[in-house]
Amino acid sequence: MSQDYRFSFGPWNVHEGADPFGPPVRPSVSLGEKLRLYKTLGFDGVQFHDDDAVPELEELTPGEIVKRAREMRRLLHDEGLVAEFVAPRLWEDSRGIDGGYTANDPGCRQWALERSKRAIDIARELGTELLVLWLAREGTYIRESKNPLEAFRHLLDAVNKLLEYDPKIVIAIEPKPNEPMDQAYLPTVGHALAFASQTVDPARVGVLIETAHVILAGLDPSDEMAFALSMGKLLSVHLNDQNGLKFDEDKSFGSANLRAAFNQVRVLELGGYAATGRFVGLDVKAMRTQKPEVAMRHLANSREVFLRLVEKVRTFPRDLEAQCIANRDYEALEIAILRHLMGLSPAL
């Protein structure tokens, strides 16, 4: 079973524990040390921001960036790891304050495009064709600050230019409805896929779906995943959990709503996700209270929950399910699922 799925996470998932209200509480872990953790935690894929792979890339020429990325690939190879994707980090630089692709300042928009091209260069050198766009600041704090029709045109223009820059690159949009912005321009999977259909090459644009982001949009993560899977558009996932409508919590997978986690796994199983060879990505944060030596267990725990839920999906009795559905007795189906999740016999 664990051989069916490949798992990935990003180096930002092992972190110092700072939050908006308090400083770091754990020492920094170097990228080299983080990479050594992957295999021991059961992970084979690394998700990169562009500057995770090539630190301080704004100080480097395109040629130097390519050279550093090549060195990173060797490091990955030595650890038996592969890069899953690269994501341009447009939201930390001062030129991204008003958004990148949708900034009002044309100079900032140009910067965002060039930075994204460098991210594609890095992806190419790391041996992956997947570019993830979490459109962090592409939205507004107040609606009147941008002409949204122009903003959508700028967004489409930027994505088209990236598709044209590298004919092999595949773009996964990671929708999120809010945070850091009051309102994001592509808040849901539906928005992202409608947008994808308008690009110069819709076949190369899909989505990365994060559990917490979908919950923040008031939607059901398993339905969003099924929607994308039904169109062959689910390029990656960021499994985690979220306890209601508050800040983006990135809790361990299944920790807030085990049944919703079961349903996400069920949909990935129904949609044949494992056979696509795509990674099961975890985007989970350790609690700030964790001591340094156990501040990576949330990753192994999330993977364990995923694999145990695969087992739960596969062992739920199909005849009982069919019988409940034929009788339209969904109360019976529900209690059977709950018993199964509680480790009891579903038929009792």
- The C-alpha angle 269, 278, 71, rounded to 5 degrees, equals 155
Q: Which of 50, 51, 52, 250 is catalytic?
A: 52
Min dist CB 195 to ligand XUL, Å, is 18
**DSSP conformation letters of 284-296:** ----TT--GGGTT
User: Is 49 an annotated catalytic residue?
Assistant: yes
* CA–CA dist 314, 266 (Å, integer): 9
Min dist CB 319 to Mn ion, Å, is 38
Among 87, 169, 286, 309, binds ligand XUL (CB under 6 A): 87
Which one of Mn ion, ligand XUL, none is in contact with 248 (Cβ closer than 5 to 8 A by kind)? ligand XUL
Which one of Mn ion, ligand XUL, none is in contact with 87 (Cβ closer than 5 to 8 A by kind)? ligand XUL
* CA–CA dist 199, 307 (Å, integer): 36
Q: Does 115 bind ligand XUL (CB under 6 A)?
A: no
Min dist CB 206 to Mn ion, Å, is 15
Query: Are residues 45 and 83 in contact, defined by beta-carbon separation less than 8 angstroms?
Result: yes
Tokens of 296: 């990576």
Query: Are residues 282 and 7 in contact, defined by beta-carbon separation less than 8 angstroms?
Result: yes
Q: Does 283 bind Mn ion (CB under 5 A)?
A: yes
Q: Does 249 bind ligand XUL (CB under 6 A)?
A: no
Among 115, 238, 298, 340, binds Mn ion (CB under 5 A): 238
Q: Does 51 bind ligand XUL (CB under 6 A)?
A: no
Query: Are residues 90 and 58 in contact, defined by beta-carbon separation less than 8 angstroms?
Result: no
Considering only the stretches 195-203, 236-244, 257-265, 272-280, report the one whose residues sit in contact with Mn ion under the rule CB under 5 A.
236-244
Q: Does 210 bind Mn ion (CB under 5 A)?
A: yes
* CA–CA dist 21, 17 (Å, integer): 11
Query: Are residues 253 and 297 in contact, defined by beta-carbon separation less than 8 angstroms?
Result: no
Q: Does 283 bind ligand XUL (CB under 6 A)?
A: yes
Question: Which of 83, 120, 88, 86 is closest to 8 using CA atoms?
Answer: 83
* CA–CA dist 249, 245 (Å, integer): 10
3-class state of residue 188 by DSSP: coil
Among 5, 134, 273, 279, binds ligand XUL (CB under 6 A): 134
The C-alpha R_g of the chain, in whole angstroms, comes to 21
Q: Would you say 278 or 312 has its CB closer to Mn ion?
A: 278
Q: Would you say 238 or 303 has its CB closer to ligand XUL?
A: 238
Tokens of 274: 């494992």
Q: Does 227 bind ligand XUL (CB under 6 A)?
A: no
Min dist CB 241 to ligand XUL, Å, is 13
Q: Does 49 bind Mn ion (CB under 5 A)?
A: no
Which one of ligand XUL, Mn ion, none is in contact with 298 (Cβ closer than 5 to 8 A by kind)? none
Min dist CB 74 to Mn ion, Å, is 27
**DSSP conformation letters of 250-268:** -BPTTSS-HHHHHHHHHHH
Q: Does 248 bind ligand XUL (CB under 6 A)?
A: yes
Q: Does 238 bind ligand XUL (CB under 6 A)?
A: yes
C-alpha distances in angstroms, 12 versus 48, 56, 66? 9, 16, 22
Min dist CB 97 to ligand XUL, Å, is 17
Among 34, 68, 118, 176, binds ligand XUL (CB under 6 A): 176
Q: Would you say 138 or 283 has its CB closer to ligand XUL?
A: 283
The residue number with the shortest CB distance to ligand XUL is: 134
Question: Which of 122, 124, 111, 127 is closest to 62 using CA atoms?
Answer: 122
Annotated catalytic sites, by residue?
49, 52
The site for Mn ion (CB under 5 A) is made up of 210, 238, 283
The site for ligand XUL (CB under 6 A) is made up of 49, 87, 134, 174, 176, 210, 238, 248, 283
